Amino acid sequence: MRPTVHDIAAAAGVSLATVDRVLNQRAGVREVTRKRVEEAIREIGYIRDVAAANLAKGRVYPLVFILPTSDNSFMHGLHNEVRQAMIRSGTERTDIHIREVPAFDPQALVAELERLAEEKPAGVALVAADAPEVLAVVDRLVASGVPVVTLVSDLTGSSRCHYAGVDNIAAGRTAARLLGRFLGGKAGDITVLAGSMMVRDHRERLEGFTQVMSEEFPSLNLLSVLEGRDDPDMAYALISDALGSNDRIIGIYSLGAGNRGLIRALKARHQERTLTVIAHELTESTRGALTDGTIDAVLNQDAGHEVRSAIRVLKAKADGLGFIAAQERIRLDIFLKDNLP
């Protein structure tokens, strides 16, 4: 049987009440006594039974997810996963709220975060827009005792407790190597379709992609990046144009969302040429394109894992506990048509 508060009391030669005061950092304990109790805790290896404690406290974890208002499939999926988590709130002692803010809008994010500094939830998860103001508010929130986790896109240099998302530089590098190897030494042009260079995750993917391309596949020539704002129609127009005006293009890397448009453009030119295409985020449309051969590989981050991980980490942090790092690492999924879930 693992030791309980009673065992600490006995070991330290004090009463249960005193142990409680020490454990819950209440006032009214002399420094010497406090030391003695803490020593006893360490010695007998007491670990608080979080379940019992939560029961006694009637604790729930009020968590806030700040998500961008965005109509691409990935963000829809993310929203949906948070909603799934809300359904499980009853059994998980969470009380989850979603706050929507306009995408690519640091000011709105800051305003929302400042509001949260008042509310003092048990934890905050946000899709970070990469701006110094945001970093500053996040730091303030964390300093005031509210654990913050970044989701999908990180906020490097901030004091956020955890990042529940993939390593986007690694993702870009992986995409480059896959594309390069799939093209097997051929020479030609490569087009990159991004959402916006204003968001960190897209910038990082491009960075990684460019690194490996220039280092290891000199026969492939990177064209200037197309920015499709994660919008299907814009993506369609950009890719159609590019393919129409340049017949040296042999590969495409779509590192953002809005792949419906990309796929539409590719299908329109299907008979004319063979392209090697790598895209991000597994959605209904990319899955279809992967199956029928329009796309060769899809890199994915599992939104469900990200959300569940964020929740686990925030709960742990709220209790001042650690977490299993390996479990919370969000992996880059690589899907070919053969290993689709």
Q: Give the binding site for DNA (CB under 7 A).
A: 1, 4-6, 13-18, 20-21, 23-24, 27-30, 32-34, 46, 48-49, 52-53, 55-58
C-alpha to C-alpha distances, 64 to 86, 127, 208, nearest whole angstrom: 11, 12, 32
Closer CB to its own copies, 13 or 218, in the complex? 218
Residues making up the chain, counted from first to last:
341
Closer CB to DNA, 20 or 189, in the complex? 20
CB 253 within 8 A of CB 191: yes
Binding its own copies (rule: CB under 8 A), the pick from 6, 83, 267, 329 is 329
- In what side-by-side order are the strands of the sheet with 94-102? 94-102, 61-69, 123-126, 148-151, 162-164
What ranges in 14-144 are assigned the alpha helix state H?
16-23, 31-44, 50-57, 73-87, 89-92, 106-119, 132-143
Closer CB to DNA, 24 or 219, in the complex? 24
Residue 87 is a binding residue for its own copies (CB under 8 A): no
Binding its own copies (rule: CB under 8 A), the pick from 2, 25, 28, 320 is 2
261-300 footprint of its own copies as x/- string (CB under 8 A) = -----------------------------------x----
CB of 340 to its own copies, least distance (A): 8
Of 70-78, 107-115, 197-205, 329-337, the window that binds its own copies (rule: CB under 8 A) is 329-337
Collapse the DSSP code of 185 into the 3-class scheme (helix H, G, I; strand E, B; otherwise coil) and give the result.
Answer: coil
H/E stretch holding 325 reads: helix 325-328
C-alpha to C-alpha distances, 140 to 118, 145, 148, 170, nearest whole angstrom: 12, 9, 10, 30
CB 265 within 8 A of CB 241: no
In this structure, what token pair is assigned to residue 314? 């925030």
Angle at 18 between CA 12 and CA 23, to 5 degrees: 90
Q: What is the largest CA-CA distance in the chain?
A: 85
Q: Which of residues 166-225 bind its own copies (CB under 8 A)?
A: 167, 170-171, 173-174, 176-178, 181-186, 208, 212
Residue 117 is a binding residue for its own copies (CB under 8 A): no
Given its own copies, DNA, none, residue 271, with its beta carbon under 5 to 8 Å by kind, binds none
Closer CB to DNA, 13 or 288, in the complex? 13
In this structure, what token pair is assigned to residue 195? 């959402």
DSSP-derived letter for residue 330 is P
Residue 317 is a binding residue for its own copies (CB under 8 A): no
> b vs e for 12-24, b when ≥16 Cβ sit within 10 Å of the residue's Cβ?
bebeeebbebbbe
Of 52-60, 70-78, 114-122, 136-144, the window that binds its own copies (rule: CB under 8 A) is 52-60
Closer CB to its own copies, 224 or 339, in the complex? 339
CB of 308 to DNA, least distance (A): 23
Collapse the DSSP code of 17 into the 3-class scheme (helix H, G, I; strand E, B; otherwise coil) and give the result.
Answer: helix
**Using CB under 8 A as the criterion, which residues of the chain lie in contact with its own copies when the complex forms?**
2, 47, 49-52, 54-55, 90-91, 167, 170-171, 173-174, 176-178, 181-186, 208, 212, 296, 302, 304-305, 308, 324, 326-327, 329, 331-334, 336-339, 341
